[in-house]
Chain A
């Protein structure tokens, strides 16, 4: 059992939520946003830079975009204008991209998903709340630039406690 070095890309996570959350997302990214259920995601682009959209609730979404943060903030703020939504970046939330060799089956050996989610059965573009050694994380399986990725979202203070077993 060894600890595996995890990559920490400069991912930008943006959360959008509120009564009008779905409408704001549809305005920005089209009707596709209402074709996914909570804990499902889709891939798109902003300024030709890949953008991943994860739906967390009927009106709750999370964006992962590695472009210019100020630019995205401008876009989101404009779209959210006069809408009942908030746009936030949580300083306590971090994203961990697992090593390419670590598949969801391997992750399922150490992570327990909250029922009815199941990690071994987690499909591409789906996410699940889970725990690793009791520590909370959101497991998100999606593709970034056609590369299948397993991404964990977890609390910053939890990060150094997470032991990723290879």
Chain B
């Protein structure tokens, strides 16, 4: 029988400090359960004390607890296998009423496909009489007049399940670490029951059930929405953060999503992806790209470290110049793509996508004995991109360049050059770079100036229709421009020659990470990246297969796709075996199961829009 006690023990070292004023606390010993009431607005924090321990949750509301949380309704209304903090973060009842909202989650791996563990499960595996979460729920819910069930449909927090391609639901060791938690807010008065899962006959709880702690906080608390991520095995959990511009953005849209640890806009209220896209192509837009990660590389060997780990030859890079390329693995895979800025002979800055880039550079420096310091500076450098053919015009009257840099006006700043300056008296680093295929600039500032910079630019740009742009339109623009996205076009198993940026590999450099492997791959890359123009108007999705005409076997895979408004065509980026990558080759994109229906597609340049890059260089 479950043992419920008010917590009066010294918390173990892994126990995270309370998030606010705790009004009730429930310590659930391993393999037991507890029922507890929660009033509307209160917060429920479910803490995995020792890590690797699942905690199932059942929730009731209404008269005599007749309305209950429904996992299928929840999946359906959210369009997600599990709610996540943000727009699609609510758990619903069978009456489609919200019961709980996810406020914070530091684990991000849970289950709501399976029942809480049942006596039947253990019986079938040769353990008749074994305690189960469902039986434990039956016991703690009996005093509330809730009839027992052989198996309870539950939200199984910290339970690691996945559905494989054949449809099998596999459950294995939990992702959760000591102190990981889920913070929920009750949308109505609720009766809840939480378990510490009793399963000790397989790895889901690490073979040993351990305690779960439930804390209740008052409705007056104001906990921010956040998703916890870890950049590496040793990194602490990092909660989603606002950028320097989020406060302004939230005045213009509620459609924010978590991207790379920041809240970013998908699109803007009453504007939408079309208006934002066309503003980019015909006017100018502002894009919050603060989620990029920045690292200062400082020291006598700063150049040597980057020359050794970055794909481009930085020998010719002068102060005020930057270069796009990638960090490489020894086997020639792409660790990350990014831009190196030369601030001085002993000071470079790498701007990429991943927190782990810094750790990688540290490790390379240590192994190679480079005298260099890697300083993460993402927290003090947030960046706003102003992109579009009118971006220069908007900046012209606002910008005063630092005399120590060559350009005296914005018109003198060449492509892939940067300078320090002020915009409306705000100190900025202006870089003539972007991710849109249009003329544009990226403005790096201290976060304290974020609102002021946003306001100054929006005011200056208003006469020419400057608009904010969200990630949906940005993705469309970058696919048109043939620009790569991490996780779509490349990862650490993809070489630059496969990803379409072979031009960014300086094989003539005497030595750099991955050189030997890349020399071989260059001659015979297993795949190359191309653009496709599809017949018809359907838009493909990443992962769809590309076939030679009338063949069952594959010639490649689509990595990204969109409908190009300016070309009025369905386009895609694909990775193909070289034999089918010649310009003009006609192939088939498999739809549905890949063989039921095919749509012709013609191989084109990687950038379907402005392939000569005339617009970014204008």
Contact = CB atoms under 8 A, between A and B. Distances in A.
A115 B87 contact: yes
A159 to B, nearest CB: 21
B253 A40 contact: no
A38 B269 contact: no
B255 A116 contact: yes
Interface string A1-31: 0000000000000000001101100100000
Nearest to B473: A37
A43 interface: no
A35 B537 contact: no
A143 interface: no
Contacts of A22: 537, 563
A32 to B, nearest CB: 10
A10 to B, nearest CB: 29
A116 B269 contact: yes
Interface of B: 87, 253-256, 266-267, 269-275, 278, 536-539, 563, 565, 568
Interface in A43-90: 58-59
Interface string A120-142: 01110010000000000000000
B270 A126 contact: yes
A37 B470 CA distance: 13
Contact of A19 (B87, B275, B278, B536): B536
A116 B272 contact: no
Contacts of A108: none
Contacts of A122: 270
Nearest to A122: B270
B104 to A, nearest CB: 18
Nearest to A26: B568
5 contacts: A20-B536, A34-B274, A35-B278, A116-B254, A123-B270
Interface secondary structure of A, over-half rule: loop
Contacts, number: 51
Contacts of A126: 270
B274 A19 contact: no
Nearest to A36: B274
Contacts of B536: 19-20
Interface size class of A (residues with CB under 8 A): 20 to 34
Q: 3 closest Cβ contacts across the A-B interface?
A: A37-B272, A123-B270, A116-B255
Interface of A: 19-20, 22-23, 26, 34-40, 58-59, 115-118, 121-123, 126
Contacts of A121: 269-270
A126 B563 CA distance: 22
Contacts of A19: 536-538
A118 B267 contact: no
Contacts of B274: 34-37, 40
A51 to B, nearest CB: 19
Contact of B254 (A35, A38, A39, A118): A118
Contacts of A36: 272, 274-275
B269 A20 contact: no
B270 A35 contact: no
B21 to A, nearest CB: 29
B563 A39 contact: no
The listed residue with most A CB atoms (<10 A of its CB), out of B537, B539, B568, is B537
B269 A37 contact: no
A23 B255 CA distance: 28
Given A22-B537, A121-B269, A35 B563 contact: no
Nearest to B88: A115
B563 A58 contact: yes
A117 B271 CA distance: 12
Contacts of A40: 270, 272, 274-275
